[in-house]
Amino acid sequence: MRLVVGLNRSAPEGALLLWSGLRADGRLLTIQEQYEEWRSTPDGELVYGAIRQHALRMVDAGWRHYGLKALWEAARYTRALQVGPDELGFKLCNNHTSRMARELMAECPELAGFFDLRELRTP
């Protein structure tokens, strides 16, 4: 079976389409929609939980501010060691870091203001 990943309107017969990046009407998903779709996956849940735990440990250790990108890269490294190399590789989309920072600060009062945020440029 051939794996097809990425923007692909018509996967070849017998291919396993993992993610098309498209809505049912053929339009591209927004970054927010991509993030929400990823967050609902087992890997999205696992990464969110790991980054949340690390951020809360930083707060407990006395940090009042830290970069989500550093925690994201730590999660990328740790998960890569856990999963090991495979046909697809474990991927964390860098476009999702600001969305995760916002979600963490909204859901965890202890993390309010912990990450710097800029205005979103794309939906």
Per-residue model confidence as pLDDT tens for the chain (123 residues): 333 344 333 444 444 434 556 777 778 889 999 899 889 988 889 899 999 999 999 999 999 999 999 999 999 898 888 877 666 666 788 899 999 999 999 999 999 999 999 888 887
Q: Is residue 16 a part of any domain in this protein?
A: no
Rg (CA), the chain: 16
- Give the structural domain span for 32: 24-111
Q: Give the per-residue pLDDT at 86.
A: 62
Q: Is residue 13 a part of any domain in this protein?
A: no
Q: Is residue 15 a part of any domain in this protein?
A: no
Total domain count, the chain: 1
Q: Is residue 11 a part of any domain in this protein?
A: no
Q: What is the pTM of this model?
A: 0.75
Q: Is residue 7 a part of any domain in this protein?
A: no
Q: Give the per-residue pLDDT at 80.
A: 82
Give the residue among 61, 71, 75, 64 at the shortest CA–CA distance from 111: 64
